[in-house]
Structure 1
Amino acid sequence: MYRKVHITKEYLQLEPIGLVFVFFFALILVIQFVAMLFHRFGTLAHILASTELNWSCTKKKEEMSPNALLDKQAVEIVKQLQKLQGIDGDYDNDSGNLGQTG
Protein backbone atom coordinates (compact mmCIF):
# COMPACT_ATOMS: atom_id res chain seq x y z
CA MET A 1 0.00 0.00 0.00
CA TYR A 2 2.93 2.26 -0.24
CA ARG A 3 2.94 4.66 -3.15
CA LYS A 4 6.05 6.01 -4.68
CA VAL A 5 6.32 9.74 -5.17
CA HIS A 6 8.79 10.99 -7.73
CA ILE A 7 10.00 14.54 -7.23
CA THR A 8 11.60 16.15 -10.22
CA LYS A 9 13.14 19.56 -10.61
CA GLU A 10 12.98 21.45 -13.84
CA TYR A 11 15.29 24.42 -14.01
CA LEU A 12 14.21 27.53 -15.85
CA GLN A 13 16.14 28.17 -19.00
CA LEU A 14 17.40 31.66 -19.78
CA GLU A 15 16.89 32.33 -23.44
CA PRO A 16 19.75 34.35 -24.91
CA ILE A 17 17.60 36.01 -27.58
CA GLY A 18 15.16 37.27 -24.95
CA LEU A 19 18.02 38.54 -22.80
CA VAL A 20 19.56 40.42 -25.75
CA PHE A 21 16.17 41.98 -26.51
CA VAL A 22 15.77 43.18 -22.91
CA PHE A 23 19.26 44.72 -22.87
CA PHE A 24 18.69 46.38 -26.25
CA PHE A 25 15.35 47.79 -25.07
CA ALA A 26 16.95 49.11 -21.87
CA LEU A 27 19.70 50.76 -23.92
CA ILE A 28 17.13 52.50 -26.11
CA LEU A 29 15.31 53.77 -23.01
CA VAL A 30 18.53 55.19 -21.57
CA ILE A 31 19.37 56.92 -24.86
CA GLN A 32 15.87 58.42 -25.07
CA PHE A 33 16.06 59.64 -21.48
CA VAL A 34 19.41 61.36 -22.02
CA ALA A 35 18.18 62.92 -25.27
CA MET A 36 15.07 64.20 -23.47
CA LEU A 37 17.25 65.85 -20.83
CA PHE A 38 19.33 67.58 -23.52
CA HIS A 39 16.15 68.74 -25.25
CA ARG A 40 14.69 70.10 -22.01
CA PHE A 41 17.94 71.92 -21.27
CA GLY A 42 17.84 73.50 -24.74
CA THR A 43 14.23 74.58 -24.24
CA LEU A 44 15.11 76.09 -20.87
CA ALA A 45 18.00 77.97 -22.47
CA HIS A 46 15.64 79.39 -25.14
CA ILE A 47 13.14 80.49 -22.51
CA LEU A 48 15.82 82.13 -20.40
CA ALA A 49 17.31 83.86 -23.46
CA SER A 50 13.99 85.41 -24.47
CA THR A 51 12.86 86.44 -20.99
CA GLU A 52 13.05 90.13 -20.25
CA LEU A 53 13.54 91.30 -16.70
CA ASN A 54 12.39 94.80 -15.83
CA TRP A 55 14.58 95.92 -12.98
CA SER A 56 13.41 99.00 -11.14
CA CYS A 57 16.97 100.04 -10.26
CA THR A 58 17.90 101.10 -13.80
CA LYS A 59 18.15 104.73 -14.83
CA LYS A 60 15.21 106.47 -16.41
CA LYS A 61 15.29 107.15 -20.13
CA GLU A 62 15.60 110.88 -19.55
CA GLU A 63 18.76 110.41 -17.47
CA MET A 64 20.56 108.15 -19.97
CA SER A 65 22.90 109.28 -22.68
CA PRO A 66 21.90 108.58 -26.30
CA ASN A 67 24.55 105.83 -26.63
CA ALA A 68 23.43 104.13 -23.40
CA LEU A 69 19.81 104.34 -24.54
CA LEU A 70 20.77 102.80 -27.88
CA ASP A 71 22.65 99.99 -26.12
CA LYS A 72 19.70 99.29 -23.85
CA GLN A 73 17.18 99.13 -26.68
CA ALA A 74 19.38 97.33 -29.22
CA VAL A 75 17.42 94.07 -29.07
CA GLU A 76 14.10 95.87 -29.53
CA ILE A 77 15.48 97.83 -32.49
CA VAL A 78 16.70 94.62 -34.16
CA LYS A 79 13.32 92.96 -33.58
CA GLN A 80 11.59 95.91 -35.27
CA LEU A 81 14.00 95.76 -38.21
CA GLN A 82 13.46 92.01 -38.65
CA LYS A 83 9.66 92.20 -38.67
CA LEU A 84 8.09 91.12 -41.93
CA GLN A 85 6.33 94.00 -43.63
CA GLY A 86 2.76 93.50 -44.73
CA ILE A 87 1.84 90.81 -42.21
CA ASP A 88 -0.47 93.06 -40.20
CA GLY A 89 -1.14 95.62 -42.93
CA ASP A 90 1.86 97.73 -41.96
CA TYR A 91 2.89 98.60 -45.53
CA ASP A 92 3.93 102.14 -46.30
CA ASN A 93 1.35 104.13 -48.23
CA ASP A 94 2.87 103.54 -51.65
CA SER A 95 4.70 100.24 -51.17
CA GLY A 96 1.52 98.16 -50.74
CA ASN A 97 0.02 99.11 -54.08
CA LEU A 98 1.82 96.69 -56.36
CA GLY A 99 0.53 97.22 -59.90
CA GLN A 100 -2.67 98.92 -58.78
CA THR A 101 -3.69 102.21 -60.29
CA GLY A 102 -5.82 105.05 -59.08
Structure 2
Amino acid sequence: MADRNKLRAEAGACLGQSKPAGELVDCVSAHFPDVEVFRENDDLVIKGGHRFLIVRRAGPDSFRVSENVSVPSTNLVDGGGGATRTLAQLIDEIAVLAE
Protein backbone atom coordinates (compact mmCIF):
# COMPACT_ATOMS: atom_id res chain seq x y z
CA MET A 1 0.00 0.00 0.00
CA ALA A 2 1.24 3.46 -0.85
CA ASP A 3 2.28 5.91 1.85
CA ARG A 4 -0.50 8.47 1.37
CA ASN A 5 1.10 11.14 3.57
CA LYS A 6 4.35 10.95 1.62
CA LEU A 7 2.43 11.14 -1.67
CA ARG A 8 0.42 14.14 -0.46
CA ALA A 9 3.63 15.99 0.39
CA GLU A 10 5.27 15.09 -2.93
CA ALA A 11 2.14 15.93 -4.92
CA GLY A 12 1.77 19.28 -3.20
CA ALA A 13 5.39 20.15 -3.96
CA CYS A 14 5.02 18.94 -7.55
CA LEU A 15 1.87 20.96 -8.22
CA GLY A 16 2.62 24.18 -6.38
CA GLN A 17 -0.29 26.62 -6.60
CA SER A 18 -1.02 26.57 -10.32
CA LYS A 19 0.37 23.58 -12.24
CA PRO A 20 -2.21 21.31 -13.92
CA ALA A 21 -3.23 17.91 -12.53
CA GLY A 22 -1.36 16.20 -15.39
CA GLU A 23 1.88 17.08 -13.61
CA LEU A 24 1.09 14.32 -11.09
CA VAL A 25 1.79 11.47 -13.54
CA ASP A 26 5.21 10.58 -12.12
CA CYS A 27 4.16 10.99 -8.46
CA VAL A 28 1.10 8.78 -8.82
CA SER A 29 2.97 6.18 -10.92
CA ALA A 30 5.73 5.90 -8.32
CA HIS A 31 3.31 5.35 -5.43
CA PHE A 32 0.72 3.22 -7.23
CA PRO A 33 2.63 0.95 -9.64
CA ASP A 34 -0.41 -1.29 -10.22
CA VAL A 35 -2.47 1.39 -11.95
CA GLU A 36 -1.97 2.90 -15.39
CA VAL A 37 -1.38 6.66 -15.22
CA PHE A 38 -1.09 9.09 -18.09
CA ARG A 39 -1.64 12.69 -19.03
CA GLU A 40 -4.21 13.93 -21.52
CA ASN A 41 -3.46 17.60 -22.18
CA ASP A 42 -3.48 19.12 -18.67
CA ASP A 43 -5.63 16.37 -17.14
CA LEU A 44 -4.50 13.34 -15.16
CA VAL A 45 -6.01 10.01 -16.23
CA ILE A 46 -5.73 6.98 -13.94
CA LYS A 47 -6.86 3.49 -14.95
CA GLY A 48 -7.46 0.85 -12.31
CA GLY A 49 -9.04 -2.33 -13.64
CA HIS A 50 -11.90 -1.22 -15.88
CA ARG A 51 -12.39 2.14 -14.13
CA PHE A 52 -10.87 5.48 -15.01
CA LEU A 53 -10.47 8.60 -12.90
CA ILE A 54 -10.20 11.84 -14.84
CA VAL A 55 -8.68 14.66 -12.78
CA ARG A 56 -8.58 18.36 -13.66
CA ARG A 57 -7.20 21.10 -11.45
CA ALA A 58 -9.83 23.66 -10.47
CA GLY A 59 -7.85 25.77 -7.96
CA PRO A 60 -4.92 25.74 -5.50
CA ASP A 61 -6.35 22.82 -3.49
CA SER A 62 -9.31 21.92 -5.66
CA PHE A 63 -9.72 19.24 -8.32
CA ARG A 64 -12.65 18.15 -10.50
CA VAL A 65 -12.82 14.36 -10.61
CA SER A 66 -15.00 12.10 -12.72
CA GLU A 67 -15.07 8.33 -12.74
CA ASN A 68 -15.75 6.49 -15.97
CA VAL A 69 -16.13 2.81 -16.71
CA SER A 70 -14.35 1.25 -19.68
CA VAL A 71 -13.54 4.44 -21.65
CA PRO A 72 -11.66 7.52 -20.41
CA SER A 73 -13.54 10.70 -21.27
CA THR A 74 -13.02 14.29 -20.19
CA ASN A 75 -16.56 15.29 -21.21
CA LEU A 76 -17.82 15.64 -17.65
CA VAL A 77 -14.94 17.82 -16.42
CA ASP A 78 -14.96 19.76 -19.72
CA GLY A 79 -18.49 20.84 -18.85
CA GLY A 80 -17.53 21.83 -15.29
CA GLY A 81 -18.96 18.64 -13.79
CA GLY A 82 -17.47 15.93 -11.65
CA ALA A 83 -16.90 15.83 -7.92
CA THR A 84 -14.81 18.51 -6.22
CA ARG A 85 -11.90 17.14 -4.19
CA THR A 86 -9.01 18.56 -2.17
CA LEU A 87 -5.56 17.10 -2.80
CA ALA A 88 -5.88 14.87 0.29
CA GLN A 89 -9.28 13.59 -0.88
CA LEU A 90 -7.92 13.00 -4.38
CA ILE A 91 -5.04 10.89 -3.02
CA ASP A 92 -7.53 8.84 -0.98
CA GLU A 93 -9.71 8.30 -4.06
CA ILE A 94 -6.70 7.18 -6.12
CA ALA A 95 -5.71 4.76 -3.34
CA VAL A 96 -9.18 3.19 -3.40
CA LEU A 97 -9.02 2.82 -7.19
CA ALA A 98 -5.60 1.17 -6.88
CA GLU A 99 -6.81 -1.48 -4.41
Q: TM tier, shorter chain?
A: under 0.3
What TM-score comes out, normalization by structure 1 length? 0.21
- Say which structure is richer in helix: 1
What TM-score comes out, normalization by structure 2 length? 0.22
Q: Which has the larger radius of gyration?
A: 1
